Structure 1
Amino acid sequence: MELQANAALIIIDQQKGILQPHLGRRNNPQAEDRIVDLLGFWRRSGRPVIHVQHLSREPDSVFWPEQEGVEFQQRFLPQDAEWLIQKQVPDAFCVGGLAARLREAGVGQLVIVGVATNNSVESTARSAGNLGFDTWVAEDACFTFDKADYFGTLRTAEEVHGMSLGNLQGEYATVVSAAQVLAEG
């Protein structure tokens, strides 16, 4: 495992709306701190940073355009040289020619962080792996919420997070910690 000099950091949906209490109980309360650690390292090392912003199609969504929840949290505001990808579906590869743009920039390795582990993070990581990118997911820099399964059984955010990471590990991505990523840099 080695972090490439041009590995891209993909930060998913770190918008104000994700902090709304009505979304429920979440796991990894330190996830944003781990994202900030990684973002600082990426900026210092000059590696590419990609900010993904969700623009919902649902008026009752915390990410509905033209309201405060859609805006980036202050600590995750994109800087001038950083990429911005806007999406209306969970998978960041479904819009904006992200794969082509990464290939044009010579980027073959991705580190994915953000929210929600079982939604936008998992779908983006699956596509990245399927498209042939060396994909890492920093598990402690992602989080999700309690969620009922298909049969109506409430699963804790930790269970949802763990299952999602289990879906990714080995087939679509390599699951790592933020500290492991930083140690490779």
Structure 2
Amino acid sequence: MEITRNAALVVVDVQKGFDESEFWGPRDNPAADGNIAALITAWQDTGRPVVFVRHDSDKPGSPLRGGSEGNGFKEYVEERRGKGSGPELLVTKSVNSAFYGTPDLHEWLKAAGIHQVVLVGIQTNMCVETTARMGGNLGYDVLVALDATHTFDLTGPNGWRLTADELAKASAVSLHGGGFAQVVTTAELIGAARS
């Protein structure tokens, strides 16, 4: 695996509101937070760009609504912001894709000559997957660190219910098998970034 010198790490919606288990239900991958923290550190240590994405929900009952405690980044993310030697960007959004936020992520990446993006964050099958699909459609070389994401159990039509783990696997298969992104591990990315 090759990680370019200016590959951007895009940290999607790692916010306190996602810790409200009574709202979201069961989650998968308890190791996600540690892996996200390790990737931010690796990117900052190597002077690569880091993009922090925050979901400002406009839904009144959402734990992620703007101005609420849950809207803020988790502590391990907040304490790392501004600590790297590379470029940093904050994108805010109210939809699933980080490419539909403010400021315009696509324009920022293009202006910086960035062609490779690495995605981590919450939720695997929602904002991470949507951002990965759009990134692939826009022509970026997209990598998703699956073990640095997590999601929650979900019920769909006809009472169909999938566990968080099943949803994460379905996202990985769709993204990787569909050619939108390469699904990789945190260890692979850190090894490539530091080599």
Query: What is the rounded CA distance, in whole Å, between the counterparts of 1:107 and 1:179 in structure 2?
Result: 22
Residue 108 of structure 1 corresponds to which residue in structure 2? Answer: 115
Query: What is the rounded CA distance, in whole Å, between the counterparts of 1:102 and 1:146 in structure 2?
Result: 33
The answer to whether the aligner puts 1:26 opposite 2:32 as a matched pair is no
Match of 1:174 among 170, 182, 185: 182
Residue 13 of structure 1 corresponds to which residue in structure 2? Answer: 13
SS of 1:169's partner is helix
With 175-184 and 144-153 compared, the bigger mean Cα shift is at 144-153
Residue 117 of structure 1 corresponds to which residue in structure 2? Answer: 124
Moved over 4 A (4+): none
Residue correspondence of structure 1 range 52-67 to structure 2 within 5 A: 52-67=53-68
Residue 99 of structure 2 corresponds to which residue in structure 1? Answer: 93
Query: What is the rounded CA distance, in whole Å, between the counterparts of 1:47 and 1:150 in structure 2?
Result: 42
Residue correspondence of structure 1 range 66-81 to structure 2 within 5 A: 66-77=67-78, 78-79=81-82, 81=87
The answer to whether the aligner puts 1:184 opposite 2:192 as a matched pair is yes
Aligned residues, how many? 185
Give TM-score scaled by structure 1 length: 0.97
Match of 2:139 among 132, 135, 139: 132
Query: What is the rounded CA distance, in whole Å, between the counterparts of 2:108 and 2:88 in structure 1?
Result: 13
With 94-103 and 76-85 compared, the bigger mean Cα shift is at 76-85
Provide the identity percentage: 40
The answer to whether the aligner puts 1:148 opposite 2:159 as a matched pair is no
With 113-122 and 94-103 compared, the bigger mean Cα shift is at 94-103
Q: Tell me, which stretches of 5 or more residues in structure 2 are unaligned?
A: none
Query: What is the rounded CA distance, in whole Å, between the counterparts of 2:160 and 2:141 in structure 1?
Result: 34
Query: What is the rounded CA distance, in whole Å, between the counterparts of 1:133 and 1:151 in structure 2?
Result: 36
Query: What is the rounded CA distance, in whole Å, between the counterparts of 2:43 and 2:96 in structure 1?
Result: 24
Q: CA deviation at 1:167?
A: 1.1
Which residue identity lines up with residue 87 of structure 1 in the other structure? K
Query: What is the rounded CA distance, in whole Å, between the counterparts of 1:28 and 1:150 in structure 2?
Result: 25
Q: Tell me, which stretches of 5 or more residues in structure 1 are unaligned?
A: none
Provide the aligned C-alpha RMSD in A.
1.1
Q: CA deviation at 1:100?
A: 1.2
Q: CA deviation at 1:150?
A: 2.3
Residue 90 of structure 2 corresponds to which residue in structure 1? Answer: 84
Q: CA deviation at 1:79?
A: 1.4
Give TM-score scaled by structure 2 length: 0.92
The answer to whether the aligner puts 1:41 opposite 2:42 as a matched pair is yes
Which residue identity lines up with residue 36 of structure 2 in the other structure? I
SS of 1:151's partner is helix
